[in-house]
Amino acid sequence: MITIIIIYMHRFFIFCIICSSITFLHYPALAASSGYTVADIQRIGLQANGLLQAARSEVDIAQAEVTSASAFPNPEVTFMAGPDSPRLPEIDTGPSSMQRQVTVSQSLENPWMRRARIEAAESGVDVSRANLEQVRADLAAQLRIHIYEFLLRRGLAEMESDIFELMREIQQRIKLSVELGETARFELIRADTEVMTAASRKEAALLDTERARIALLQLTAGALPPEFTVAASLDDPVEQPTLDALRKELSTQNPEIQRLEAEQARARLRIDQERASVLPSVDILFSNFQDKQFVSNTAGLSVRIPLFYQRRGEIDAAVSSAAKIRQTLDYRRYEVDRLLESAWQAKEIARRRVEMFEGGIVKEAETALRVAEVAFRLGERGFIEVLDTQRVLRNARSELLQAQFELQSAAAEIDRLRAYYPQE
């Protein structure tokens, strides 16, 4: 009986393993879910950040202003009533009566001014949308830079932890040699100092990592869980178009240039609006008058003629504002192009540094440290040689991590200039 139970339990165990394997094969996303990707964090930040929500509200406000600009003027109705008070005897004027008068006034808008006002409001919507795009691009770039800064700090913390473990292992060896009388106590004091220094650097690196984590939580408005993990690495590939292709893309995709172009169009339309307002404006009038004896209906026109002041100041101010925006646009086009070249050069310099450190410097430093460790264990080299090679390797690894971070930062700046980011 016991044998049969064991056989069934064995078969059930095999069945569970097969089911787990099938589940793993059919749901690789769940099995490989090890953290948030860079694009995931960017999408979360773009959805949750309060500044971006405020920029979206600005677009809604601008669209409401288009509705206001498209509205027709409302008619005005005036009602007056009151009794007659005769100044002569009633036998001459007759009995007193009640007077009533209703006047309706309707403004006729200048069609040129109305069209310019509506188009200026529509240009305001384009300005708000370009500003929203600018906020999105800036936030996405900041998120990407902070993600890789978090990875940089984490990498430095791991490196300092490795150094601390190495120093502590060497300290134990030196302590044992001192107890056996093979090494002077001065070496143990030096090793203790190096262990305390390594521990201090390790704690500082861990605190920097936590600070970078908090900065990411701040940019995402707390939408990320406190103990989130990032499924990315500093050596992630950076693939972007050529510099000439980026220049062409920048002229049509850069949000700041788009915003200034929309502001320039709005400024030109404001000039048209101010010039059109010089034309005479007309109101249609209709009046109904009633008393005890008479009913009177009259109609007419009310024309406002700009005879003495023809809005010269407003027109000049609109022209100067348009010139200012045009000059700003020309300068920003030049400046954005220079920023692109600078970011491109920074990316290429960082790429060369990464290739240089990955190609030989770090490997040679690691080999030198391994040789020094073996020689120290065999008693052929002292603690100073191990310490020197460890410092060389630490500097090389730090430079490599920093170069990888600079490469990712330069790529993020290029993507910011061309407004390239994952959509919400």
Tens-place pLDDT, residues 341-352: 999 999 999 999
Three-state DSSP at 126 gives helix
Task: Give the SS3 label for residue 87.
Answer: coil
User: Using CA atoms, how far apart are residues 118 and 133, in angstroms rounded to an integer?
Assistant: 23
Q: Domain limits at 243? A: 34-74+119-278+322-417
Q: In this structure, what CATH number is given to the domain that contains residue 256?
A: 1.20.1600.10
Q: Please say whether the beta carbons of 174 and 208 come within 8 A.
A: no
Per residue of the chain (424 residues), what is the pLDDT tens digit?
444 434 434 444 333 433 433 333 332 332 234 689 999 999 999 998 888 889 999 999 999 999 999 998 899 999 998 887 777 676 666 666 788 999 999 998 888 888 999 999 999 999 999 999 999 999 999 999 999 999 999 999 998 898 888 888 877 877 777 777 766 677 778 778 888 988 999 999 999 999 999 999 999 988 888 888 999 999 899 989 999 999 998 888 899 999 999 999 999 999 998 888 888 888 999 999 887 778 899 999 988 888 888 888 989 999 999 999 999 999 999 999 999 999 999 999 999 999 988 888 888 887 887 777 777 677 666 667 777 777 888 888 889 999 999 999 999 999 999 999 887 6
Strand 295-304 relative to strand 98-108: parallel, antiparallel, unpaired? unpaired
Asked if residue 263 belongs to a domain, the reply is: yes
Q: What proportion of the chain, given as a percentage, has pLDDT over 90? A: 46
In a domain, 9, yes or no: no
Spatial distance between the Cα atoms of 351 and 346, rounded to a whole number of angstroms: 8
Residue 64 in any domain: the answer is yes
Indicate the number of domains in the chain.
1
- Let me know if residue 150 belongs to a domain: yes
Q: Is residue 333 part of a domain?
A: yes
Residue 294 included in any domain: no
Contact 219, 139 (CB under 8 A): yes
Q: Is residue 398 part of a domain?
A: yes
Q: How far is CA 41 from the centre of its chain?
A: 12
Closest CA to 102 of 74, 78, 75, 76: 78
Exposure string over 63-86, b if 16+ CB within 10 A, otherwise e: eebbeebeeeeeeeeeeeeeeeee
Is residue 283 a part of any domain in this protein? Answer: no
The four Cα atoms 106, 109, 114, 118 give a dihedral, to 10 degrees, of 0
